[in-house]
Structure 1
């Protein structure tokens, strides 16, 4: 099989309600700095002929704690994955992911200790390597795959609702009406039960040319239905950046109640 080439674009928007952007991302070495938090940032489009890595983060905490937590995670990701093109095996990738999670988790915990307040951030990660996609996440930022089978979420929601659904206690419809359903059960900055291991979710999928992968914060999925997301991603004669802008624009048109960050990776 010929090597898959990736074309990707990213955009973040503070939204119509929030005053600061607690989202962050890492795209082609680009991350948000605190000074950028009120901007709508479009990273542009880039072609990646080899291995590449992308991530979305959604911070939480009072004052500017969430903003700082996601910034720490994004910059830590950039440092760890700057040489992703040199990673040539799953074992090396697994070690790299574990090092990132440990480092980011510890750094955010230090932030919480310093400011004497709880802070944290989600992480949704996509690594493309050797015609395979490696997805890892913690929290409720999502990774979707659009292929011939339709739009499917391949990340795992670490929320109270997600726990109840996976355990069979509730249906998705029942869980959607439960109080506290969006409370996170895992996030970067929380204490780890077994020391160095951060309880994230990871999965590997084979990639075919034409597959599309979407990373996003809940500022998109809380505002736009999956059916509508699939429709935008499937639109003919629209470029990767145009689809990204359409997704963010739809979230803003529907109320823009939260920060919204989107990365779209198309394969060819």
Structure 2
């Protein structure tokens, strides 16, 4: 049975007054969400999205993981809309979202925004999520060399996110993984400051918690200008295990989560 075994770290960093990153990791689902910089109540948006996606995946374990993630993100979108409808001070809140889910046989990846998912296989690192950013648009249109993405002054301009507006576009796809692979889900507080070659080096550490901690420390040493979240997951083939998972960042404060029952206000 394909499942995840791993660890995560979420740190406020050296500049931000509070943590707007949220994360969850368990044997069959993991999520990283990052409240979009400059938007209202980023911690509410990220915690709500991470909570709804994780809870939906846990409740529907065994179902098609692509369908589960699609439904989960649609429900998260409705919760954000409900939150704004109930409290106008939340207007404008938005979050990135990167998640993986397994039904024991298949694994799916969902993504929107500029948090990232990486795959380390046989010591080689590849980015498996697509950045919904202006810098990536420049790369796609031939206006910027991919090698010049790192540290670009417009790197924080996100073109797509999960918010309370009418648009709810996101990417969900099957993910081909096998036992022995390692996945990293992380916020841009890591990738804006730590290059891929360093990420690959650290991910080769045997222990997932050590890898997550060293990645976080690497970003802190590079300035820690944003919240930093890293969830490191080993893909394993093992028996069904019982256990919900671990809450990180803003998700650890349940008051940040919009009550999912409130979706009836906007449906």
Give the TM-score normalised by the residue count of structure 2.
0.79
Q: Which residue of 2 aligns with 1:115?
A: 89
The equivalent position to 1:147 in structure 2, one of 105, 121, 127, is: 121
- Listed as ranges, the gaps of 5+ residues in structure 1 are 29-47
Cα distance 1:77–1:253, how it changes in 2: closer, same or farther (>3 A)?
Answer: same
State how far apart, in whole Å, the 2-side matches of 1:261 and 1:163 are: 24
Q: Quick one: structure 1 residues 6 and 98, their matched pair in 2 at CA, closer, same or farther if it must change by over 3 Å?
A: closer
Alignment of 1:264 onto 2:262: no
- Say yes or no: does 1:58 pair with 2:34: yes
Summarize the Cα distance change of 1:166–1:130 in structure 2 as closer, same or farther, 3 Å threshold: farther
* TM superposition outliers: structure 1 runs of 4+ over 4 Å: 61-64, 173-179
Q: 2:68 aligned with 1:96, yes or no?
A: yes
CA distance in 1, matches of 2:67, 2:123: 31
Give the equivalent residue in structure 2 for 1:76.
52
Query: 1:41: which partner in 2?
Result: none
2:120 maps to 1:159: no
SS at match of 2:51: helix
Closer/same/farther in 2, CA of residues 215 and 231 from structure 1, 3 Å limit: same
Q: CA deviation at 1:131?
A: 4.4
| TM, length-normalised to structure 1 | 0.79
- Contiguous gaps of at least 5 residues in structure 2: 237-267
1:128 equivalenced with 2:96 (yes/no): no
Cα separation, 2, equivalents of 1:154 and 1:146: 10
After TM superposition, give the deviation of residue 81 of structure 1 in Å: 1.6
Contact 1:61/1:118 (CA < 8 Å) preserved in 2?
no
Q: CA deviation at 1:184?
A: 1.2
In structure 1, what is the Cα distance between the partners aligned to 2:39 and 2:147?
33
Give me the whole-angstrom Cα distance separating, in 1, the residues matched to 2:141 and 2:223.
33
Partner of 2:175: 205
Q: Does 1:15 align with 2:21?
A: no
Instruction: Summarize the Cα distance change of 1:111–1:4 in structure 2 as closer, same or farther, 3 Å threshold.
Output: closer
More displaced stretch, 9-18 vs 159-168: 159-168
Task: Report the Cα distance in structure 1 between the residues aligned to 2:114 and 2:92, rounded to whole angstroms.
Answer: 18
Q: 1:7·1:267 contact (CA, 8 Å) conserved in 2?
A: yes
**Using CA pairs below 8 Å that are at least 6 residues apart, which structure has the higher relative contact order?**
2
SS of the aligned residue for 1:21 comes to: coil
Q: Which residue of 1 aligns with 2:254?
A: none
Find out whether 1:171 has 2:141 as its counterpart: no
The answer (yes or no) to whether the contact 2:123–2:200 under 8 Å persists in 1 is: no
Residue by residue, what CA displacement relative to the aligned partner does 1:85-111 show, whole Å, maximum 9, x if unpaired? 332x3xxx3332222222212322344
> CA RMSD for the aligned pairs?
2.3
1:32-58 deviations in Å (ceiling 9; x for gaps): xxxxxxxxxxxxxxxx3xxx1110000
Q: Decide whether the 8 Å contact of 1:18 with 1:257 is kept in 2.
A: yes
